[in-house]
Amino acid sequence: MTDDRLTIYEKPTCTTCRNTVKLLRERGIEFEDINYYLEPLSAAKIAELLDKAGITPRDLMRTKGQIYKDLNLRDSAHSDIELIELMAEHPDLVQRPIAELGPRAVLCRPPERILELLG
């Protein structure tokens, strides 16, 4: 990704992802979208996105999915590194969509949060 290219990491069947993409298209904003189920995020990329967004691994975790329950992550003592590795291994653990633009990233929940990167 070049520093001036907006990238959206998403799952096309996700309603929030679709609404984020719709908002961008309505405003004529060009972006690259990456379905991270087809092109999985590495642990290093997840760590980079967390750093750019200024959030923790727990902030990025989907807590309502079955895998979260199956891995008993709610009250776990996993380290940040372990949580990042689990997210890389299990894409369903990653909250979405995530927008990245240069040195910044944002979790687009709600979709309008993407405007923080563009303003």
Q: Is 60 exposed, middle or buried (0-12, 13-18, 19+ CB in 10 A)?
A: buried
Predicted confidence pLDDT, tens digits, the chain (119 residues):
446 899 999 999 999 999 999 999 999 999 999 999 999 999 999 999 999 999 999 999 999 999 999 999 998 899 999 999 999 999 999 999 999 999 999 999 999 999 999 87
Distance CA 4, CA 15 (A): 26
Distance CA 74, CA 113 (A): 26
Q: What is the pLDDT of residue 3?
A: 62
Domains and CATH numbers, the chain: 7-118 (3.40.30.10)
CA 99 from centroid of its chain's CA atoms: 7
Active site residues: 14
pTM score over 0.75: yes
